[in-house]
């Protein structure tokens, strides 16, 4: 770790305004602020937006998942034979379902504001920037400035959609994953550029609303970090529901007109739609922080390097969440903030994130995974076996009419240790945690036999673990 200058004599520990300043109030900032405040530290948070919660609450995780929930219920209604005698083909527009998202955001802001208030965390609204490694200047919405100082600074400013200069994001028919929440019209056709997690989730949302969707994937398969079967399941489901996926394509230029957008691909193809959603990449929110004044420099993606304790190259400055890159999950960011606070409180702390962090992808249906994929195990030459359960065979899935999907358990052929769990289907992100809990158990307690020897409620989706475990054990010889 690079040693840095000592704080000047004019700013001894006793003269700092706060013990710690947290830049950003998303999950990472909240995790750090709450942990420090509960240990009687004087904590300030600086948030550039008028309300706490960060991008996760206002533009990312919460609104997109609220939208997805509304669309999922719409699909369930239109496909459920119970309502076959009613007016089928109920239609909702994107603006229609934004109301539910706004309601959830409001509830989350109220909840999180209460956390800061109860723990006596000082809240400053404005754009933060470094004066030096201990001093932060805040540019307030009214144009005035205020300067505060602290012994420790935690950067938790998150990320924003990447916007290449050649794309006109000010055009009313060109959106990114933040500005799409301001969509006011009801498009009949949308082009989504970028088939990562965000692009795939919005492809599900718009297709569920009956919008024609062209999904441009810059890679050769969807969500290539997933187990191949999960990726293939999503690809098939998209295809079966009318989403057109174009793999291995790059945009050459976008011709945005008054009534449409025309996308020109490097392959020579041309595509026309009502609007374009650019969902290809994100960049860390560091460009306005004046990092150089603190002796820091971000990489080309706006991200900061940290050590195992989330400490940057400047000893009193820490960074957590999207601004440090992988895994770029709200759940992990909160834990990173909490662990950074532990390191600040006790520089001997060696606490780290768990190895097996679950991923939840809120497409329709959901995908969730924890542990190794089949491809990783094959490459590592690990002798594994597979147990599968198809949702269509589960009584609970039949009752709820959510029969699309499956659960897959990967386990060691000899020790029966659980190596990975992959789920595709409704409530996959909830179901996965049962398997994750068992994977975290020590030694002989982490085996596939647990799912056979325990008793599950019936009928439940959780029963898929027992079905998959029996299926896998039957493959052994």
145 and 36 part of one domain: yes
Would you give the DSSP letter of residue 400?
Answer: H
pTM of the full structure: 0.92
192 and 316 part of one domain: no
Residue 355 lies in a domain: no
Residue 8 binned pLDDT confidence (cut-offs 50, 70, 90): very low
Residue 107 is part of a domain; what is its CATH number?
3.50.50.60
Give the up-direction half-sphere exposure of residue 81: CA atoms within 13 A in the CB hemisphere: 5
pLDDT at 125: 98
372 and 467 part of one domain: yes
State the Cα angle at 436 between 433 and 442, rounded to 5°. Answer: 145
What are φ and ψ of residue 271, in 5° steps? Answer: -135, 140
258 and 304 part of one domain: no
Decide: 63 and 195 in contact? Cβ < 8 Å: no
Calculate the alpha carbon distances from 466 to 136, 371, 396, 409, 476 in Å: 55, 19, 14, 10, 16
220 and 369 part of one domain: no
Residue 131 lies in a domain: yes
**Cβ neighbour number for residue 372 with a 10 Å cutoff:** 21
| Dist CA 227 CA 220 (whole Å) | 14
Residue 446 is part of a domain; what is its CATH number?
3.30.390.30
**Total of domains in the chain:** 3
| Dist CA 26 CA 52 (whole Å) | 7
Residue 442 lies in a domain: yes
Range of the domain at 185: 174-280
32 and 115 part of one domain: yes
156 and 303 part of one domain: yes
179 and 130 part of one domain: no
Helices 197-208 and 228-240, packing angle to 10 deg: 30
148 and 294 part of one domain: yes
pLDDT at 82: 76
- 3 has pLDDT over 70: no
148 and 288 part of one domain: yes
Q: Retrieve residue 476's tokens.
A: 């052994």
State the Cα angle at 301 between 361 and 196, rounded to 5°. Answer: 25
Tell me the per-residue pLDDT of 245-300, one tens digit each, with 9 for 90 and over: 999 999 999 999 999 999 999 999 999 999 999 999 999 999 999 999 999 999 99
Domain termination site, one of 313, 345, 377? 345
- 339 has pLDDT over 80: yes
293 and 146 part of one domain: yes
Residue 77 binned pLDDT confidence (cut-offs 50, 70, 90): confident
pLDDT at 84: 67
| Dist CA 374 CA 386 (whole Å) | 9
Residue 357 lies in a domain: no
């Amino acid at each position: 770790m690079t040693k840095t200058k000592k704080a000047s004599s004019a700013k001894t520990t006793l003269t700092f305004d706060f013990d710690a300043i947290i830049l950003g109030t998303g999950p990472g900032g909240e995790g750090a602020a709450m942990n420090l405040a509960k240990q009687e530290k004087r904590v300030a948070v600086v948030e550039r937006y008028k309300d706490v919660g960060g991008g996760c609450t206002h533009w990312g995780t919460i609104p997109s998942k609220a939208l997805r929930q509304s669309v999922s219920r719409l699909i369930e209604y239109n496909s459920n034979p119970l309502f076959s005698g009613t007016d089928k083909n109920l239609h909702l527009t994107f603006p229609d379902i934004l109301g539910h998202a706004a309601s959830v955001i409001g509830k989350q802001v109220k909840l999180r504001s209460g956390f800061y208030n109860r723990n006596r965390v000082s809240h400053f609204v404005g754009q933060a920037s470094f004066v030096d490694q201990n001093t932060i200047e805040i540019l307030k919405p009214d144009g005035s400035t205020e300067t505060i100082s602290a012994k420790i600074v935690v950067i938790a400013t998150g990320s924003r959609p990447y916007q290449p200069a050649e794309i006109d994001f000010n055009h009313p028919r060109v959106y990114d994953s933040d500005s799409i929440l301001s969509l006011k019209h009801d498009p009949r056709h949308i082009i989504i550029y970028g088939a990562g997690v965000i692009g795939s989730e919005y492809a599900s949302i718009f297709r569920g609303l009956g919008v024609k969707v062209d999904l441009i994937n810059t890679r050769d398969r969807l969500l290539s970090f997933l187990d191949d079967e999960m990726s293939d399941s999503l690809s098939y489901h998209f295809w079966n529901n009318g989403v057109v996926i174009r793999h291995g394509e790059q945009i050459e230029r976008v011709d945005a007109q008054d009534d449409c957008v025309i996308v020109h691909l490097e392959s020579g193809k041309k595509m026309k739609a009502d609007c374009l959603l650019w969902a290809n990449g994100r960049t860390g929110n560091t460009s306005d922080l004046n990092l150089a004044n603190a002796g820091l420099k971000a990489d080309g993606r706006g991200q900061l390097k940290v050590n195992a304790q989330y400490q940057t190259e400047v000893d009193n400055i820490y960074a957590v969440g999207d601004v440090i890159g992988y895994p770029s999950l709200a759940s992990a960011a909160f834990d990173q903030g909490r662990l950074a606070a532990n390191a600040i409180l006790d520089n001997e702390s060696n606490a780290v994130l768990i190895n097996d962090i679950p991923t939840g992808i809120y497409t329709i249906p959901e995908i969730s995974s924890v542990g190794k994929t089949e491809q990783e195990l094959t490459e590592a030459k690990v002798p594994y076996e597979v147990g599968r359960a198809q949702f269509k065979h589960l009584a609970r899935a039949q009752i709820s009419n959510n029969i699309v999907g499956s659960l897959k358990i990967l386990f060691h052929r000899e020790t029966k240790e659980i190596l990975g769990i992959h789920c595709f289907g409704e409530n996959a992100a909830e179901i996965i945690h049962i398997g994750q809990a068992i994977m975290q158990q020590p030694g002989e307690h982490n085996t596939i036999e647990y799912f056979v020897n325990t008793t599950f409620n019936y009928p439940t989706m959780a029963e898929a673990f027992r079905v998959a475990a029996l299926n896998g054990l039957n493959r052994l010889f």
